[in-house]
Amino acid sequence: MEKISVIVSCYNEEEALPLFYEEMERVRKQDFEDMDFEYIFVDDGSKDKTLQEMKELRKKDNKVRYISFSRNFGKEAAMYAGLEASTGDYVTLMDADLQDPPALLRQMYNTIKNEGYDCVGTRRVTRKGEPPIRSFFARMFYKIINKMSDIEMVDGARDYRLMTRQMVNAIINMKEYNRYSKGLFSFVGFKTKWIEYENVERVAGETKWSFWKLLRYAVEGITAFSTTPLIISSVVGILFCIIAFLMIIVIIIRTLIFGDPTSGWPSMVCIIFFVSGIQLFCLGIIGQYLSKTYLEVKNRPIYIIRETEKEEISKKNS
């Protein structure tokens, strides 16, 4: 029998997790009679009773596995841990808040099975229920990053997707520390089909992403998959050199013709401020890349596990 691994990253999801499990089980019983299942719940250093919830579910159901991190490592790390632990022939990534409808899963599976795709991704066509300002910046972000990067990022694409084992292995092989999954999924290639659906609001609990966190994530995405900002800073530098050169010529000619009237002190100050601002900005861009390189070079683990269901098993055996 073929097996599907369902990976769910959870950060403070004590309310949503049982609801998720119920709904997922309902769908499994209804649509996946013919298949083996495995749930991998990754507790990303939750501060509430999420881990206890997972253990409860584990007691009830052998298909449930869990991984608990030593602290909050972020959703990217949680998804990576899940992928590494997964054993299924097909793997799906889902949120615990039921914003990724499990009911779509059969359709996704059929697409892979019958139409020869390696991956089926989902994208939201609406952003209903989201603050408008957030949608606006999200749209901007996708416009900018698609101009700057060779890798295509699909607007509204969610992390919810079903992949074949082959693709999962390709992703596991990308062991970079600064992970930006949307980019990694595109980077590995394979044939992906997109399914569209309307945005669903979360069932319980609240979003873990503040505006600030999203902004940092966006910068992460750009620096991880594009070096265009570095080119932009070089171009701006060259442009300013040319302008300066033209101004020198203008001033020399003016001095030769009209003598040397000492005026222009205020405009000089403005120019100095402007140019040093640009310099600092470009230095900041270079700093971004340097810091990313620094973190990669240190080769720190992407996540650290505190406990999993495996210890439970070994305890029982000894």
Give the binding site for Mg ion (CB under 5 A): 95, 97, 99, 202
Does residue 31 contact residue 119 with C-beta atoms inside 8 Å? no
Q: Per rule CB under 6 A, is residue 67 in the interface with ligand UDP?
A: no
Q: Considering only residues 99, 149, 164, 186, which one is a binding residue for ligand UDP as defined by CB under 6 A?
A: 99
Q: Per rule CB under 6 A, is residue 78 in the interface with ligand UDP?
A: yes
| CA atoms of 79 and 171, how far apart (whole Å) | 11
Does residue 134 contact residue 206 with C-beta atoms inside 8 Å? no
Q: Per rule CB under 6 A, is residue 208 in the interface with ligand UDP?
A: yes
Q: Which stretch binds ligand UDP (CB under 6 A): 96-104, 218-226, 261-269, 274-282?
A: 96-104
Q: Per rule CB under 6 A, is residue 181 in the interface with ligand UDP?
A: no
Q: Considering only residues 15, 53, 97, 220, which one is a binding residue for ligand UDP as defined by CB under 6 A?
A: 97
Q: Rounded to whole angstroms, what are the CA distances from 180 to 86, 172, 203? A: 20, 13, 26
Q: Per rule CB under 6 A, is residue 202 in the interface with ligand UDP?
A: yes
Task: Return the one option of ligand UDP, Mg ion, none that residue 209 interacts with (CB less than 5 to 8 A, by type).
Answer: ligand UDP
User: If 0-12 CB within 10 Å is exposed, 13-18 middle and 19+ buried, where does residue 262 land?
Assistant: exposed
Task: Return the one option of ligand UDP, Mg ion, none that residue 72 interacts with (CB less than 5 to 8 A, by type).
Answer: ligand UDP
Q: Which is nearer to ligand UDP, 74 or 221 (CB)?
A: 74
Please give the structure tokens belonging to residue 265.
């002190």
Task: Return the one option of ligand UDP, Mg ion, none that residue 309 interacts with (CB less than 5 to 8 A, by type).
Answer: none
Task: Return the one option of Mg ion, ligand UDP, none that residue 78 interacts with (CB less than 5 to 8 A, by type).
Answer: ligand UDP
Residue found under tokens 């990053």: 145
Query: Which residue type does 245 have?
Result: F
Q: Considering only residues 6, 11, 38, 91, which one is a binding residue for ligand UDP as defined by CB under 6 A?
A: 11
Does residue 303 contact residue 77 with C-beta atoms inside 8 Å? yes
Q: Which stretch binds ligand UDP (CB under 6 A): 200-208, 235-243, 267-275, 304-312?
A: 200-208
What lies within 8 Å, CB to CB, of 186 at 6+ separation is 151, 152, 153
SS3 32: coil
Task: Return the one option of ligand UDP, Mg ion, none that residue 83 interacts with (CB less than 5 to 8 A, by type).
Answer: none
Which uninterrupted H or E stretch holds 81? helix 75-85
What lies within 8 Å, CB to CB, of 52 at 6+ separation is 14
Q: Per rule CB under 6 A, is residue 96 in the interface with ligand UDP?
A: yes
Task: Return the one option of ligand UDP, Mg ion, none that residue 308 interacts with (CB less than 5 to 8 A, by type).
Answer: none
Q: Which is nearer to ligand UDP, 209 or 273 (CB)?
A: 209
User: What b/e string do you get for 80-117 counting C-beta neighbours within 10 Å, with b at 16 or more?
Assistant: bbbbbbbebbbbbbbbbbbbbebebbeebbebbeeeeb
Q: Per rule CB under 6 A, is residue 95 in the interface with ligand UDP?
A: yes
Q: Per rule CB under 6 A, is residue 10 in the interface with ligand UDP?
A: yes
- The residues of the shown chain that bind ligand UDP, judged by CB under 6 A, are 9-11, 13, 44, 72, 74-75, 78, 95-97, 99, 202, 207-209
